[in-house]
């Protein structure tokens, strides 16, 4: 009986470490659409919400919100962008 709780703990500890297997380490390289926050974008010309990765929260690359016609919505670097799909969108 004492072995079963131990096995459960091992399984539960292993699950979170495998949850991020889809990414290959480090920060994402391209902007990421957040459909759940699209409703926060009130400007009809910029209806889509995207996060743009930047190591220092200033220099964005390879995707750049200014070049994409986006505006900063909130301080957590959520940008409202035009409804234009890019090949690198996730």
Q: What is the DSSP string of 26-89?
A: SS-SS-EE-GGGGGG---TT--EEEE---TTSS---SS-TTTTT-EEEETTTEEEE-S---TT-
Confidence of residue 22 (pLDDT cuts 50, 70, 90): very low
Report the pLDDT value the prediction gives residue 8, as an integer from 0 to 100.
Answer: 38
- Give the whole-angstrom CA distance, residue 28 versus residue 6: 36
- Max Cα-Cα span within the chain: 62
| Residue boundaries of the structural domains of the chain | 28-62
pLDDT at 70 over 50: yes
pLDDT at 67 over 60: yes
């Amino acid at each position: 009986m004492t072995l079963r709780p131990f096995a459960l703990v091992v399984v539960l500890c292993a699950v979170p470490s495998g949850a991020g297997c889809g990414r290959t380490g480090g920060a994402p390289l391209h902007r990421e659409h957040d459909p759940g926050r699209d409703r926060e974008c009130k400007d009809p010309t910029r209806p889509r919400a995207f996060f743009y990765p930047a190591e220092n929260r200033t220099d964005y690359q390879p995707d750049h919100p200014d070049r994409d016609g986006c505006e900063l919505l909130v301080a957590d670097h959520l940008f409202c962008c035009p409804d234009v799909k890019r090949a690198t969108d996730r």
